């Protein structure tokens, strides 16, 4: 993938050739990951504004190439707004299987340099290379080699920040984007931090920024210079102590190689508000299958099933119910989720979400319920997992999730009495 032309940015004073002594933390972030993968798959898209996301009227942008960003298109933006701002853009539905494949390959490559890899998402990770210098050279040399490998192996680019702490490394990569490498020497952390706007600090959202602005605090340096007592009176003790520590470059967090999953969820935004109970039930069923399949892949079970219901006026309800026995089975998730939705939908629905919480080790630790047959839902759903792994997601679906045309074909080929025509599975 072609390199980005140099431009003036805050990280220019902290380029790749500075002293990296004591800087053992790398933050690596793929550039416009989904869009970049799509461009790598179809090189004719290079140089064009590419927008990946839900293509319906209520879809949102998942990723935008830097050419698209010049038109004011950003991730999480409604797709309708993106189309108004960039009417000549190339709009693509996400290809999640391909993003997952590239992500796994990239993360595995990181592991060749250090066992201390903390993935933050499919396209972002922290690395601790403290023990890697003897084999691979300096931290900045490792960063440069990783960037070259990502480009050579996958035809996409990434940006790397090198620093002494996770917080500063992430800020460095943010400032160096796209396709950059920034080193913040341990002795120049404050020179790097203090000119940045207060919004650069973790935990400073729009409201907190407004509060800080009323105090005359516009830069990280302003916060560092503010007496802690006065800062506490404005934003509270915990927030003030947190911001003050970050403003002085203090971040004691280590790179964690295992991250505890707190929940597994899936949701859908409808093109039009839905009130029909049958349509809502189909949506909940599809989401339940997604959530349960993800739980099984992760070897987890959940004790609590929760739903998110967003009405047309954007009011949102979250409801949950705790099970007597943890589960990773779609039909059990669906039974609870559907009941919660039926009991709490009082107006046409814009969005539905299903979530599994209270996660713990599952898989082979599963204990059959009293009176449960030896071969049942668990074996069926694991069989579906195996088929999906071999032939792709959606090869086997509940009958009610098939479109009417597939139902008619199945009935013509197999007769209406066959419940598994075309790979249908009973709900």
Q: Which residues are catalytic?
A: 124
Rounded to 10 deg, the angle between the 377-391 and 277-298 helix axes is 80
Strand partners, 319: 307
First and final C-alpha spacing in the chain: 46
- Locate tokens 């319906």: which residue? 56
With CA atoms as reference, report the closest residue to 139 among 164, 104, 168, 106.
164
Query: How many Å separate Cα 289 from the centre of its chain?
Result: 19
Phi, psi of 417 (to 5 degrees): -85, -10
Helix (H) or strand (E) holding 297: helix 277-298
Asked whether the beta carbons of 277 and 368 are under 8 A apart, the reply is no
**29 marked as part of a ligand binding site:** yes
SS3 259: coil
Helix (H) or strand (E) holding 121: strand 117-121
Contact 163, 28 (CB under 8 A): no
Alpha helices in 111-254, H assignment, sequence order: 133-136, 139-154, 166-176, 189-193, 206-214, 220-225, 228-235, 237-247
| Residue pair 102/123 in contact by the 8 Å Cβ criterion | no
Phi-psi region of 179 (alpha: psi -120 to 50; beta: other; left: phi over 0): left
CA distance 34 to 50: 10
Residue 123 marked in a binding site: yes
Tell me whether the omega of the peptide bond preceding residue 175 falls within 30 degrees of 0, making it cis. Answer: no
How wide is the angle at C-alpha 159 spanned by C-alphas 66 and 242, nearest 5°? 105
Which residue ranges are tagged as binding site? Answer: 29, 123
Which residue ranges are tagged as binding site for Mg(2+)? Answer: 29, 123
């Amino acid at each position: 993938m072609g390199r980005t032309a140099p431009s003036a940015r805050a990280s220019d004073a902290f380029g790749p050739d500075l002293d990296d002594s004591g800087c053992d933390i790398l933050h690596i972030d793929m550039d416009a990951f989904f869009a970049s993968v799509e461009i790598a798959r179809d090189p004719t898209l290079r140089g064009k504004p590419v927008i990946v996301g839900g293509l319906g009227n209520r879809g949102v942008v998942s990723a935008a190439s830097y050419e698209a960003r010049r038109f004011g298109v950003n991730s999480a933006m409604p797709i309708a707004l993106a189309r108004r701002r960039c009417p000549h853009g190339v709009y693509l539905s996400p290809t999640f299987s391909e993003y997952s494949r590239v992500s796994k390959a990239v993360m595995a490559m990181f592991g060749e340099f250090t066992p201390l890899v903390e993935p933050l998402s499919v396209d972002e990770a922290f690395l601790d290379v403290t023990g890697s210098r003897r084999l691979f050279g300096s931290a900045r040399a490792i960063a440069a080699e990783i960037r070259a490998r990502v480009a050579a192996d996958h035809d996409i680019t990434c940006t790397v920040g090198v620093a002494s702490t996770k917080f500063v490394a992430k800020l460095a990569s943010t400032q160096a984007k796209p396709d950059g490498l920034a080193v913040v020497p341990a002795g120049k952390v404050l020179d790097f931090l203090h000119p940045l706007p207060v919004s650069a600090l973790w935990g400073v959202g729009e409201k907190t920024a407004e509060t800080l602005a009323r105090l005359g605090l516009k830069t990280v340096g302003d916060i560092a210079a503010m007496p802690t007592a006065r800062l506490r009176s404005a934003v509270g003790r915990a927030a003030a102590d947190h911001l003050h520590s970050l403003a002085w470059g203090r971040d004691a967090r280590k790179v964690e190689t295992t991250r505890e999953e707190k929940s597994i969820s899936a949701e859908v935004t409808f093109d039009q508000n839905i009130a029909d109970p049958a349509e809502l039930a189909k949506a909940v069923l599809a989401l339940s299958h997604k959530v349960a399949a993800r739980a099984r892949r992760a070897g987890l079970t959940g004790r609590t099933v929760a739903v998110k219901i967003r009405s047309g006026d954007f009011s949102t309800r979250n409801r949950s119910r705790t099970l007597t026995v943890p589960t990773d089975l779609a039909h059990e998730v669906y039974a609870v989720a559907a009941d919660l939705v039926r009991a709490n939908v009082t107006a046409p629905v814009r969005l539905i979400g299903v979530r599994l919480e209270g996660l713990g080790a599952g898989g082979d630790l599963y204990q059959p319920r009293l009176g449960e047959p030896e071969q049942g839902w668990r074996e069926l759903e694991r069989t579906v997992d195996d088929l999906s792994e071999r032939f792709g997601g959606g090869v086997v679906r509940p009958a009610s999730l098939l479109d009417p045309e597939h139902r008619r074909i199945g009935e013509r080929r197999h007769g209406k009495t066959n419940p598994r025509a075309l790979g249908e599975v009973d709900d």
